[in-house]
């Protein structure tokens, strides 16, 4: 059979199957059906959103301007010139959004509070109308038995704060804000996350300039911005504990997920080592209360300036670690680790090797991605995110605070959104998350990003991550196929 066409192959395959079909039923009956892949009892299922991405109402209720208002109104920064001025109008439609969560059977909702609604100038006098808005949202959630998980900073920084995250005083202002909100809302909220994704609001905002405020600073300046980000987190933890002693406090972090190329001991060890190194300015510092020596050495004169007491605050004990998981980074052992565990300074015998005990494999050109170019598909990353973090730092509890994907959704003439690609992404990630729970890692819950399509930062409304489709002209919300599927998962507490 030379030069067989696809069509011919199909015919041949069909014939083979038909012939073999005679014997198949008995064979398949003999196979044991696999047990339902249950999640642990009490596993929390939820969805996540963020204030600037869904609320709109940017000039209502006394809200001050944020860095994202300024950035989105700067020409050329956001796809199609989109802004969060209206977004999903959740500022007005929050009751409907809670109804969507209820329809899914969600037990929890991760939402964020817009700092500029609470302190329009970043510091000073709090704005009662802003706080009242969140009290109404929280009361609506509680009335529907949905536990709120509140992120205190998901990137919308009061524009009035001089210097933004370049200024140490922003970290101090953040702590005042976090303590104030914790005190005001702890009767309604048990779980607080200080900040969302350190690298996104520091590196993307101040190094690549893709996010607000759109700066491209030097490495030394960027390290200082990063330090202020994790300092805000640490001072925030202290402030929340002081004002809401019963609260559970954590962080939501897009840890760089290091996946061993092959699951053997050398590559697994390399991935663990890489996790600590690749997250050195952020999660490693937060969970160890110190910058890794290797990071300080590597950065040299560009290392951040640290004041006495900073690292103690940064290392404040957490009740849980939230992981935002989207994509893998593939890691292999590079041969530079000696038998006694030390690393050869000259690296290994391969020119591209790091000499750090691991190498990062670049994605081949044909590597599959979802609709956002950065969203490489590798569902085992959710397992390795949990495992690496637990093996290195033994947190008491882990939540997946975000997981989901963009897809080029279309509404069919019948008015449906058959997002089988998103469903494929989600189902595969949950398969690997179930492995983590079955192996006993303390994963307590999962928040799907996102409840509904929303303002996807620099991509504006051009990238849809929701399991509810949003028509941004009418604000109509339509459940996608993935929402139907997620409702089944939640109802059965198992993979479907």
Tokens of 386: 């949990």
In the region spanning residues 122 to 181, those forming contacts with ligand PNW, defined by CB under 6 A, are: none
Distance CA 459, CA 457 (A): 5
Does residue number 374 form part of the binding site for ligand PNW (CB under 6 A)?
Answer: yes
Cβ 151 vs Cβ 178: under 8 Å:
no
Q: Which is nearer to ligand PNW, 326 or 383 (CB)?
A: 326
Does residue number 449 form part of the binding site for ligand PNW (CB under 6 A)?
Answer: yes
Residue 350 contacts by C-beta under 8 Å, 6 or more apart in sequence? 334, 335, 359
Q: Which is nearer to ligand PNW, 199 or 348 (CB)?
A: 199
Q: Which is nearer to ligand PNW, 170 or 406 (CB)?
A: 406
Does residue number 88 form part of the binding site for ligand PNW (CB under 6 A)?
Answer: no
Options 456, 470, 477, 485; binder of ligand PNW; rule CB under 6 A: 456
Q: How far is the CB of 356 from ligand PNW (least distance, A)?
A: 22
Q: How far is the CB of 212 from ligand PNW (least distance, A)?
A: 12
- Tell me the site size for ligand PNW, rule CB under 6 A: 13
Q: Which is nearer to ligand PNW, 88 or 402 (CB)?
A: 402
In the region spanning residues 295 to 324, those forming contacts with ligand PNW, defined by CB under 6 A, are: 324
Options 295, 326, 358, 461; binder of ligand PNW; rule CB under 6 A: 326
**96 is an active site residue:** no
Q: How far is the CB of 286 from ligand PNW (least distance, A)?
A: 17
- Among candidate residues 55, 197, 253, 456, the one labeled active-site is 197
Q: Which is nearer to ligand PNW, 27 or 374 (CB)?
A: 374
Q: How far is the CB of 263 from ligand PNW (least distance, A)?
A: 24
Options 39, 43, 47, 50; binder of ligand PNW; rule CB under 6 A: 50
In the region spanning residues 394 to 423, those forming contacts with ligand PNW, defined by CB under 6 A, are: 402
- Which H or E run includes 313? helix 310-314
Tokens of 321: 């670690």
- Among candidate residues 55, 277, 380, 402, the one labeled active-site is 402
Residue 272 contacts by C-beta under 8 Å, 6 or more apart in sequence? 258, 388, 391, 392
Q: Which is nearer to ligand PNW, 50 or 178 (CB)?
A: 50
Q: Which residue, 222, 350, 343, is CA-closest to 294?
A: 343
> Residue 260 gets which letter from DSSP?
E
Cβ 432 vs Cβ 379: under 8 Å:
yes
CA angle 461–402–332, rounded 5-degree value: 110
* Cβ atoms within 10 Å of 368's Cβ, excluding its own: 9
* Cis preceding-peptide flag for 213 (omega within 30 of 0): yes
> Residue 282 gets which letter from DSSP?
I
Work out whether strand 468-471 and strand 443-449 pair parallel, antiparallel, or are unpaired: unpaired
**293 is an active site residue:** no
Does residue number 254 form part of the binding site for ligand PNW (CB under 6 A)?
Answer: yes
In the region spanning residues 178 to 237, those forming contacts with ligand PNW, defined by CB under 6 A, are: 196-197, 200
Write down how long the chain is.
Answer: 496
As a 3-state breakdown, the chain gives helix, strand, coil percent values, each rounded to 5, of 40, 15, 45
Q: How far is the CB of 155 from ligand PNW (least distance, A)?
A: 7
Does residue number 90 form part of the binding site for ligand PNW (CB under 6 A)?
Answer: no
Does residue number 334 form part of the binding site for ligand PNW (CB under 6 A)?
Answer: no
Q: Which residue, 187, 297, 301, 165, is CA-closest to 233?
A: 165
Q: Which is nearer to ligand PNW, 111 or 390 (CB)?
A: 111
Q: How far is the CB of 220 from ligand PNW (least distance, A)?
A: 23
In SS3 terms, 127-182 reads as CHHHHHHHHHHHHHHHHCCCEEEEECCCCCCECCCCCHHHCHHHHHHHHHHHHHHH
Does residue number 106 form part of the binding site for ligand PNW (CB under 6 A)?
Answer: no
Q: Which is nearer to ligand PNW, 284 or 450 (CB)?
A: 450
Just list the catalytic residues: 197, 402
Query: What does the binding site for ligand PNW look like in residue numbers (CB under 6 A)?
Result: 50, 53, 196-197, 200, 254, 324, 326, 374, 402, 449, 456, 465
């Amino acid at each position: 059979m030379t030069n067989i066409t696809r069509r011919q192959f199909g015919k041949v395959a069909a014939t083979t199957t038909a012939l073999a079909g005679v014997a198949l039923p008995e064979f398949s009956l003999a196979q044991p059906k696999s047990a339902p892949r249950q999640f642990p009892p009490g596993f929390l299922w939820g969805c996540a959103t963020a204030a600037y991405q869904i609320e709109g109402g940017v000039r209502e209720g006394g809200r001050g301007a944020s860095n994202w208002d300024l950035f989105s109104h700067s020409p050329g920064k956001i796809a199609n010139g989109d802004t969060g001025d209206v977004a999903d109008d959740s500022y007005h439609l929050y009751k409907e959004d809670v109804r969507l969560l209820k329809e899914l059977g969600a037990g929890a909702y991760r939402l964020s509070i817009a700092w500029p609604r609470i302190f329009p100038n970043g510091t000073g006098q709090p704005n009662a109308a802003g706080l009242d808005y969140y009290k109404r949202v929280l009361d609506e959630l509680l009335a529907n038995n949905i536990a709120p998980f509140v992120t205190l900073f998901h990137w919308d920084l009061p524009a009035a704060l001089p210097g933004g995250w370049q200024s140490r005083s922003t970290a101090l202002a953040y702590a005042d804000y976090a303590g104030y909100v914790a005190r005001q809302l702890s009767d309604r909220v048990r779980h607080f996350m200080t900040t969302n994704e350190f690298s996104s609001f520091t590196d993307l905002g101040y190094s690549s300039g893709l996010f607000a405020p759109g700066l491209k600073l030097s490495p030394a300046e960027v390290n200082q911005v990063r330090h202020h980000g994790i300092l805000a987190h640490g001072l925030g933890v202290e402030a929340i504990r002081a004002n809401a002693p019963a609260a559970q406090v954590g962080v939501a972090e897009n840890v760089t997920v290091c996946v061993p190329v092959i699951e053997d001991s050398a590559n697994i060890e390399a991935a663990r080592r890489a996790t600590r190194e690749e997250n050195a300015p952020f999660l490693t510092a937060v969970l160890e209360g110190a910058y890794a020596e290797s990071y300080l050495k590597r950065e040299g004169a560009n290392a951040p300036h640290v004041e006495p007491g900073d690292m103690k605050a940064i290392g404040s004990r957490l009740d849980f670690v939230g992981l935002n998981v989207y994509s893998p980074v593939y890691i292999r052992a590079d041969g530079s680790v000696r038998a006694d565990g030390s690393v050869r300074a000259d690296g290994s015998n391969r020119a591209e090797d790091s000499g750090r005990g691991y190498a990062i494999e670049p994605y081949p050109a044909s590597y599959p991605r979802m609709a956002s170019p950065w969203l490489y598909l590798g569902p085992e990353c959710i397992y390795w995110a949990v495992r690496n973090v637990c093996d290195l730092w033994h947190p008491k509890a882990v939540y997946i605070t975000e997981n989901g994907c963009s897809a080029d959704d279309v509404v069919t003439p019948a008015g449906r959104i058959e997002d089988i690609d998103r469903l494929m992404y989600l189902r595969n990630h949950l398969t690997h998350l179930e492995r983590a729970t079955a192996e006993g890692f303390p994963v307590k819950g999962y928040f799907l990003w996102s409840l509904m399509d929303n303002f996807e930062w620099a991509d504006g409304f051009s990238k849809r991550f929701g399991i509810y489709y949003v028509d941004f002209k009418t604000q109509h919300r339509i459940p996608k196929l993935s929402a139907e599927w997620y409702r089944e998962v939640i109802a059965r507490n198992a993979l479907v």
